[in-house]
Structure 1
Amino acid sequence: MQYAYQGYLPDVKQKISDMAVNGSGIRDTARVLHISPTTVIEELKKRTRD
């Protein structure tokens, strides 16, 4: 499957979690992965609910 937005990729979602565990901030994570800071926040919220 081809995603138009990189933030939807499962690999990117895993990288968000990995970077958060290693102490990267939201803006830093968004900048490195070329996605929106809002996407990073929403994904981290989802991970804490699980």
Structure 2
Amino acid sequence: MTTYIFFDDALRMLVNAFLISAVMLIAASGIGLAVIETMEKTGVRQTSPKQFR
């Protein structure tokens, strides 16, 4: 019994994976930018111990 995936199905899976990863990357970058913008608006800065040396 040979199990194989047709080329069309494999190509569709790869395209879907690419599109999903692109959407997730855009969403993650949007969330990251929102967090950075919120931190800049509030003016909260965490000081690093290296700054006091």
TM score, norm. by length of structure 2: 0.31
* Rg (Cα) greater in structure: 2
Higher RCO structure, 1 or 2 (CA under 8 Å, sep 6+): 1
Compute the TM-score of the two structures, normalised by the length of structure 1: 0.32
